[in-house]
Amino acid sequence: MAREQDLLSPEIVNRGVENSGPYAGSLSFSVRVRRNLPNFLSSVNLKYVRLGYGSLLSHGAYLLAAPVLMVLFSAEIGKLTFNDFCPEFDFTDALFLVGLLGLLLYVYLDLTPRSTYLVDFACYLPPKDLKISKKEFIELARKSGNFNDGSLEFQQRVIKNSGLGDETYLPRTVFRAGYRPNLQDGREEAAMLLYGAIDNLLAATKIRPKDIRILVVNCGVLNTTPSLSSMVINHYKLKHNINSFNLGGMGCSAGIIAIDLAKDLLNAYPGSYALVVSTEAISSTWYAGNEADMLLPNCFFRMGAAAMLLSSCRLDRWRSKYEFKQLVRTHKGMENKSFKGIHLREDAEGRQALSVSKEVIEIGGHALKANITTLGPLVLPFSEQVHFFTHLLFKKKTKPYIPDYKLAFEHICILASSKKVLNEIQKNLELTEDYMEASRKTLERFGNTSSSSVWYELAYLEANTRIKRGDRIWQIAFGSGFKCNSVVWKALRNVKKPDRSPWLGNSE
């Protein structure tokens, strides 16, 4: 163990300007790290910094232009008197002036970007009879006869160090002798999770299903015909012209991708509601074989689902909990090692399941490094950015300055994948235990619920009344592809303890 920790104190190498490859023309620093999460803040590529600032400038045009126009307009108005406006009162002129002002206001509101609001969200709490402790997991796996002694010992060792507690949820059907994933089990599990989360959301928001204009459903492995989004439309009798999308095969970070898609659609259909539902069917990811790389998902993935209601209607600001601020997506699929980090395959006996590479933590670390380097210019205070660039450009022989992301966010929700990953991210970002609490508690209580994990973490913060008006929340997730995605929300009010929450045991 000590030798593995030594790998996390690598030698920093100044690579200079690269002549070829994906980072051609970029000044970069590299770090020699293998197998464990790389110390990514010691290896910064200016390509991603430029991406962040490019996004900041493109979205900041309105912020810069609006004050200038207001100052010029105020200066001109200040030169005028009431008589200049109405030298002799005339009702027709007054009506024309009001109409002109109304037209200008309409044009201004129509041209300026609309905000996207998170009205509310809900997470599903599975039935108590699906709750399985770590000890019971091993006992049921042994009784199933699907695993040899080596596989049972491997799973027991992984679960012991996983960070999962004794109250996570699994479909018990996977422990049947000779079990193989099938459509019936997958559909039944997905229906329970999807409908449960949506029912909780509709009860909390009082929104009518017919008012929903956009639907986005994401599930990694289970893809049926008709799609899961069609199942939701049929169950809730959504209107015939709904814009529906079904995202599959995009891993644990697909929940943030779904938010990105819904946001773009809300811009295309202003004043609409978008329903986003994120889940994973565990019965479809289950592996009843004996190859170690395919047994890892058994040890971490657990049942869960989350439903989110987004709106682009300006009046919904007053009833919404959060406002969308930034979203950054990073994809490393152009690199073969990243592309093969997590993939669905068949073993020698034809059993299909997810295979996880031994280098997945290192792969995820590089994706995470690229993502937060792009996000930094969008969220970090100016003083932190000055320190960062000063150290990066003028102190090449020393360790680059690590930006303090705690100054940019009051709360951080990191995908609850495993205890080891959370420990390494905490170390590299120098986060306190307060910032890690929601992720660790979610991993312990619910396990890795895939794309819905970051929403169980936000639900934890709400259940403990941690969210105050103006707080910034950073949700970050990573998954197959290999992808790393971040989304930032700002709390519009003090969030009270919700009536329904999986953490309060009453969202069933």
Active-site residue list: 252, 331, 411, 448
**Which element (helix H / strand E) includes 382?**
helix 382-394
CB-based contacts of 235, cutoff 8 Å, min separation 6:
191, 195
For residue 175 the two structure tokens come to 């422990």
Contacts of 134 (CB under 8 A, 6+ apart): 159, 160, 164, 165, 166
Count CA within 13 A, CB hemisphere, residue 410: 12
Question: Measuring CA to CA, which residue among 450, 419, 447 is closest to residue 167?
Answer: 447
Contacts of 311 (CB under 8 A, 6+ apart): 116, 117, 119, 266, 272, 273, 274, 320
Cα 195 from chain centre: 21
Cα gap 443→168, rounded to integer Å = 9
- Residues 251, 280: Cα–Cα separation, whole Å: 9
* Token code pair at residue 497: 């303890």
Distance CA 34, CA 399 (A): 19
Strand order in the sheet with 305-311: 243-248, 212-219, 273-279, 305-311, 117-123, 322-331, 483-491, 472-479, 411-414
